[in-house]
Structure 1
């Protein structure tokens, strides 16, 4: 099973988008899953349903930080920007409300929607979780460090 498939499954099992991506990498990175789920919890819905940066992108950056956070700041930020550009090129945006086609300004109702079959069918989040996890997995494979 790919990291993307694991992330998609995590999302479809009730985790938010940021949690879904980060949790797909916990075993490999030696990061506690309960701590990871708590850490990523506020990042779902584009930062607490503010619909800003997509939670899958935030989860991807958390993985990058755990894997390469000791890189020089300039290199780390270059990698963040490169990943953002690739995500944006392939998906049209890194902004949650734009990816969901929402016409809101600033924030959404803070109450999450019920996870129904219609919920999953009406939004791209499962596939974005898959995409983001596969993207960061590919990046880490191509830029392997000795300790990973």
Structure 2
């Protein structure tokens, strides 16, 4: 999947493409997004992928919050999360960034919920199991996930660009 240029510096555009490439190599949506930026926060690729592993399939394949969106939340925490429990101001500042970026994601993708993004309804949603789907050509053709990974990575990259 080709990424679309939105005036990002080449270094950030490369991170967006890395997120998509990660997904196309079989990593989950959250893993793909987090790993593309993890080195900025002192995390190696393996640790980043382990941190994001449980968020796949809408959190443990329960089709709740989209894994790509969970990747944004994880990265915002790494970027500006507070480290003192009593730091309400820092907590609030982090929540503000999360809400702003997730509002962009919802605007671009119609939902933050995996089941809704995949178009799953009642019975289909209830049929979800913990067994990961095989990554076949058919899987990639019928799933919008690569585009959602790109969207999430681009939203975070734009946040980093605008923060400078």
TM-score for the superposition, normalised by structure 2: 0.82
Distance 1:106 1:21 in 2: 27
Contact 1:6 1:130 survives alignment (8 Å): no
2:20 aligned with 1:2 = no
Distance 1:61 1:16 in 2: 15
Distance 1:5 1:130 in 2: 7
Q: Which residue of structure 1 lines up, in the alignment, with residue 107 of structure 2? A: 89
* 3-state secondary structure, aligned to 1:49: coil
Q: How far 1:29 moved relative to its partner?
A: 2.3
Larger radius of gyration: 2
1:56 aligned residue (58, 63, 68): 68
Q: Which residue of structure 1 lines up, in the alignment, with residue 32 of structure 2? A: 20
Moved more, 33-42 or 90-99: 33-42
2:78 aligned residue (66, 80, 95): 66
Q: How far 1:98 moved relative to its partner?
A: 0.3
2:130 aligned residue (90, 104, 110): 110
CA RMSD of aligned residues (A): 1.5
Q: Is there any run of 5+ residues in structure 1 with no aligned partner, and where?
A: none
Q: Using CA pairs below 8 Å that are at least 6 residues apart, which structure has the higher relative contact order?
A: 1
Q: How far 1:94 moved relative to its partner?
A: 0.4
TM-score for the superposition, normalised by structure 1: 0.91
Distance 1:12 1:130 in 2: 11
What are the residue-to-residue correspondences of 1:35-46 with 2, within 5 Å?
35-46=47-58
Q: How far 1:106 moved relative to its partner?
A: 5.7
Q: Which residue of structure 2 lines up, in the alignment, with residue 123 of structure 1? A: 143
Q: Is there any run of 5+ residues in structure 2 with no aligned partner, and where?
A: 1-12, 83-88
